[in-house]
Structure 1
Amino acid sequence: MNIKHLNLDSSLKILVTGGAGFIGSNLCEALLENGNSVKCLDNFATGKRTNIEPLLKSPNFQLLEGDIRNLEDCERACERVDFVLHQAALGSVPRSINDPITSNAVNVSGFLNMLVAARNAKAKRFIYAASSSTYGDSKSMPKVEEVIGKPLSPYAITKYVNELYANVFAKTYDIETIGLRYFNVFGRKQDPNGAYAAVIPKFVMQLMKHESPVINGDGSFSRDFTYIDNVIQMNVLAMTATQPEALNTVYNVAYGERTELNELVQLLKESLYNYDAQIAEIETVYGPQRAGDVPHSLASIDKAKELLGYNPQYNIRKGLQEAVAWYWENLK
C-alpha cells in the first residue's frame, strides 16, 4: 500500500515488533516504500520469514531476531527509534483458552517489557495493537471505545491489560501511547494454516481445495471484517497525529459494517468463482459453537474519523476481492 499521501516523514526510524507476522510485515513493506528506516523484531513463533524475504534486500530494513519476553531484546530493538509499532502478540481466543500462561507471558509481560524499553529509549510514541475482544460481554452496538464489558477469554484479558498499562505509562512517564483495537483484520500474507488460522484465509483455502468450509455455530454470528490496508492507514495516522486530544487513547480499527459468517462464505464463493466456477457448488458444514466467541461485533469508527481523519477505503467485498486474488496467485 502506498502511504505517501498520508504525509509521514520519511526520515523517521520505526520499529515494528512482530514485523514478520501478517499485519507487521505489511506495515514494514508500506513504511519502506515510504522511505522510512524500519527495524523488525520477531522470534518467528507465528511470523514467517517468507513474509519479509523481499524486504531483506533493502538497506533501510533491519531484522532483529528476539523475543519480547526478554527485556534485553526489547531494549536492543528500541535503540534510536522514533516510533514503536507494537504488533507482536500471541493472538487467538482458542489458543489463550488452551494455554493461558503463554498468552499472558507474551501479551502482558512482553508488552510491559516493550513499554519499558520504549520509555528508556525515549521513543516519541508507542502505538500498539489492541483488540476488539476487549469489548467482551458488552451488548451495546456499535462498539464505542468508552463502553466495554467483561472479558470472555484469557486473550481478551491480556489485551485489556495492555490498554491499562499504556494509560499508566502515558500519565506516569510522559510517553505518548495510542492503542488500535483491531476488528477481524484480513488480507494478503495472512496464514491460512494451523489450528488457530483466522476464518477468512482458512475458508479460502478450504474452498480452493474443494473442501466444505466449517462454520462454528449456525453462521448467524457477525464480524466487522477489516482489510489490511485500512489497518495500515490507521497506524500511519496514529504516527502523524499531533492534536493532544488524539493521543493517549484507544481507537477502533474497522470498516464499520458487519457481515454474518453465512454471508461471508457466499461473498468468498463469488470472489473465487472467477477463478474456479465449481467452488459455487460447495456446501457449508456447521460445527459446535466455540467457547469464548463473541456473537456479534460492529465498530463505531466515528472517533477515529474525527480525531485522526481515518477514511477506510476497503469494505468487505472490495477487500475480499484483493485478498482472494493474492491467495490464488501465491497459494494455489
Structure 2
Amino acid sequence: MKIVITGGAGFIGSNLARALTRHPKVGEVHIIDNLATGYKDNLTDLPAHFYEGDVQDPGLLDEALSGADAVVHLAALPSVPRSLKDPLATHHANATGTLQVLEAARRAGNLHVIAASSSSVYGATPNLPKHENLPSAPLSPYAVSKLATEAYLGSYHHSFGLPVLPFRFFNVYGPGQRADHPYAAVIPKWISAALAGRPVPLHGDGAQTRDFTYVGTVCDVLVDAALRRVTSFRPMNLAFGTRVSLRELLAEIEIATGCRTTAHHLAPRAGDVRHSQASSERLRTAFPNVGCVPLREGVQVTAEWLRGTGR
C-alpha cells in the first residue's frame, strides 16, 4: 500500500508516519507538510518521501497522491487562540485545505480519505459524554473550520461516492508534542514548566475537564482504518470517555516529573469549552480491538521524552 499523510511532519503526523513505515503491509509512505507548524527533524531516519509544500497547491497534491491507496489528512492550523487572532488563515488552511485534498483524491481515482476533525465542534453543547448525534455549537473559528472539514467529507461521499472517514480528535498528547512554541498544548507546556521549575499557567479555575487521548492509540486507529479501508460519512469520536480536570492533570504531571508545581492563575481563554468527554460507542464498534492507554502511563512517557529533548 501507498499511504499519503498531509501534515506528516507535525506531532500526530510524524507519529503516524513511524507507525506506518513499520507496518509490513505498507510499502510507501509519502508526507506533505509546509512546515508552518511541523518540523522536518520529526522525520529524521524515516523511510518516507517528503514533499515540502501546502495542501492548497493542487499540483503538489496530484504528484504526492499519484498511485496512492489512501490519504490521512492531518494538515491544519491548530489552536483556538490562533484562530481568534487570525480567523481567515485558519479557514484557508483547514477548510479550503480539506477541499483541495478531496478534489485531489477524486482526481487520483476516488482515494480513501481519512481526516482529522476536532471535539471543539461540540462547543457549547452541554451534554456529557459527547456523542456524534449531538448538534454542533462551535465557539471559535477553529471549531467552525473543523466542522467544515467534516461537512466537506460527508458531501463528497454523497455527491461523488468518495470513501471517507472523519475522526473527531480529543486532546491528543504524547511524545513528539513540543512545548517550545506560542500555541503549545497544555500537557507539554505544563510538563516543560514543571521540569524547569517555572509556575504552570492555569487559565480559569482548573475545574474544566478534558478527554485526553494518547497519540499511540490514535495512530493505531488511523493505521487500522487505512489498512481495513474503514469508511463512514458520519463523524466518529476518537477518544475513550475519560474525564480529567486540569487540577487532576497537574497532579499527574507532578507524579510523572517528580516536581512540585505552583499555578500561575490566568483569565479563562475565549473560545474554550468548559467540559469535554467523548462517547466511544461508535469507535469501539468499528475498532473493537483498540485499547486505551491510561493517563498516568501516557504522561510518564511524555515527560520522559520532554526531559530527553528539552523541547
TM-score with structure 1 length normalisation?
0.90
The answer to whether the Cα contact below 8 Å between 1:134 and 1:159 also exists between their aligned partners in 2 is: yes
Q: Is structure 2 residue 19 aligned with structure 1 residue 30? A: yes
Q: Could you report, residue by residue, the CA deviation over 1:210-245 in whole angstroms, capped at 9, with x for unpaired residues? A: 0010110010111000000110122123224467xx
Q: Could you report, residue by residue, the CA deviation over 1:55-97 in whole angstroms, capped at 9, with x for unpaired residues? A: 1xx2xx1001110122222222211110000000000000000
Q: Is structure 2 residue 278 aligned with structure 1 residue 299? A: yes
Amino acid at match of 2:23: N
User: For 2:135 and 2:246, how far apart are their aligned partners in 1?
Assistant: 23
Specify the alignment match of 2:301 in structure 1.
Answer: 322
Correspondences of 1:166-205 after superposition (within 5 Å) = 166-205=153-192
Specify the alignment match of 1:17 in structure 2.
Answer: 6
User: For 1:131 and 1:237, how far apart are their aligned partners in 2?
Assistant: 20
**Greater than 2 Å deviation, 4+ residue runs:** 240-243, 246-249, 310-313
Specify the alignment match of 2:40 in structure 1.
Answer: 49
Q: Equivalent residue of 1:54, what SS?
A: coil
Q: Is structure 2 residue 240 aligned with structure 1 residue 261? A: no
Correspondences of 1:68-217 after superposition (within 5 Å) = 68-217=55-204
User: For 2:307 and 2:280, how far apart are their aligned partners in 1?
Assistant: 31
User: For 2:151 and 2:293, how far apart are their aligned partners in 1?
Assistant: 31
User: For 1:201 and 1:127, how far apart are their aligned partners in 2?
Assistant: 26
Q: Is structure 2 residue 209 aligned with structure 1 residue 230? A: no
Unaligned runs of 5+ in 1: 1-11, 274-278
Q: CA deviation at 1:259?
A: 0.6
Q: Could you report, residue by residue, the CA deviation over 1:137-180 in whole angstroms, capped at 9, with x for unpaired residues? A: 11110000111332100000000011111001001111100011
Counterpart selection for 1:286 from 262, 265, 278: 265
User: For 2:227 and 2:67, how far apart are their aligned partners in 1?
Assistant: 18
1:97–1:229 CA distance, 2 compared to 1 (3 A):
same
TM-score with structure 2 length normalisation?
0.96
1:242–1:88 CA distance, 2 compared to 1 (3 A):
closer
User: For 2:53 and 2:229, how far apart are their aligned partners in 1?
Assistant: 32
Identity of aligned residues (%): 36
The answer to whether the Cα contact below 8 Å between 1:81 and 1:123 also exists between their aligned partners in 2 is: no
Q: Is structure 2 residue 246 aligned with structure 1 residue 251? A: no
- Count of residues paired in the alignment: 309
Amino acid at match of 2:39: K
The answer to whether the Cα contact below 8 Å between 2:174 and 2:301 also exists between their aligned partners in 1 is: yes
Amino acid at match of 1:18: G
The answer to whether the Cα contact below 8 Å between 1:186 and 1:228 also exists between their aligned partners in 2 is: yes
Amino acid at match of 2:232: L
User: For 2:148 and 2:175, how far apart are their aligned partners in 1?
Assistant: 29
The answer to whether the Cα contact below 8 Å between 1:16 and 1:24 also exists between their aligned partners in 2 is: yes
- Report which stretch shifted further, 140-149 or 17-26: 140-149
Amino acid at match of 2:265: Y
The answer to whether the Cα contact below 8 Å between 1:16 and 1:40 also exists between their aligned partners in 2 is: yes
The answer to whether the Cα contact below 8 Å between 2:51 and 2:64 also exists between their aligned partners in 1 is: yes
Specify the alignment match of 2:54 in structure 1.
Answer: 67
